[in-house]
Structure 1
């Protein structure tokens, strides 16, 4: 198994990412989420995709790869795209497919075969004109007050604290990339502004963080799906980062890797199926469940149901991390 990158964050390029792609135009702010085994993209020879001398960057090949991937993705993806992309918009898949293939290469090299994947489409907003510096928490940490002994982990099916994955990936297919504070000290003991104490003084905590990071060197991921950010989680090692100012249509990709046991336990905690895909911000559509017990088929179907406004707050909690 390959060693993880050093430091609290690291950027790496996406082979085959389109150069100066035409703009994606959004109709609304929405999200599409999938939780399950790594998606099948079709003809997914990850080793070949990492060869810098390959000829897979021409438009015809990219279009063919996108069409193949579209047929393999959960049906909720097509419904989400139809409601999110404006008529005449550039397609999303020519950017998404290379990004996911590079993501899959990285995950497999580190022994990961399941993830929580979210695509967040955002219209321009002033919500992030001021940086909201924070670190992300450990998504698979037991709820506060719950026992985290190895016996409890075994009985619940989730990983022990020593084997949990404490890092994630992200990138931007269009629009400004996520901001990372390099060499930043953590100005507040709480990992994120979501605990009860911080909730009572949220803006004051953010201001304290901004003051503590004044003058810090800031790095930003490239747009266009050309770069992926690896970053660590938690209070001690977590990368300090923030959403950027969003002054144009943005499509952000959030990847939370996990073991099958951890992801199943997380979904079960909120009463949700595994594998599964769903949307937020688009009309509810109920699609047939085609899973037959085969992992590949179940991953393709992803549970079959599109739940939009009914998605539980817990799902929103995970999707909220930039």
Structure 2
């Protein structure tokens, strides 16, 4: 009698088919719990998100999300999303922004369920992310000089009872000195600006507990009063008159520069004691010159006499002279 031996391939398939049942028995009929459960809240739009549960068969896996008030001591939860296949649950409308709540999520597959995974305490008005304002524009009006009008849209798209403030930062382009202006309105006016100077503006949303993201930077120039026809003529006449005055002053200075120079540079006057000193020395110099002149005359007279004596001696001794000539 032959024994029927199972085919190895069929045996492997059988084991794979029984594996989910074995695993379910091992975990007491429970699925793996969802992982990475977290709340994502952006501009008060709230979602509970998690990673999908991995199972070994093709049966669909669904999820249920619930919430309860943080102040409640009992375990009564309220359903938010029931038997949904996506891995998120939007609870923006069901849970108010000011409520403090705890959320939880569970996976189901047929008769199998997972453990609940619970979130920390959440309150949207303290735990949401505030994005930047949108549609930021700057406008300059001819009727309003030295000012810019700032308009923008609130990042919160739906109605809320949240007190939100806007902080405007503005500065001259190229400068590091910023000025701030808080406002509760989505339009405001920046006054006392320099005309024809480019200003840049940024807007940041903030609340008592949250500071939002900065907006884009927008730049514009405030206008100043334009010149009318009469003002243009007056400006031209003023400039022409100033040029004529400057030309006249230049001509007078050129023609009478000597007189002007004498006015500007007065002759120097020597102090009296110094002038007396030089006069006394001049008198002494004249006396010395008068005393030295007779001495010079005597010396000239003596030189003439010596020459005459020499000539007479030459006549007295002719032989000596002839000898000297021979030599």
TM over 0.5: no
Q: Which has the higher helix share?
A: 2
TM-score by length of 2: 0.17
Per chain length, whose mean CA-contact separation is higher, i.e. which structure has more relative contact order (CA < 8 Å, sep 6+)? 1
TM-score by length of 1: 0.17
- Structure of higher CA gyration radius: 2
Q: Which has the higher strand share?
A: 2
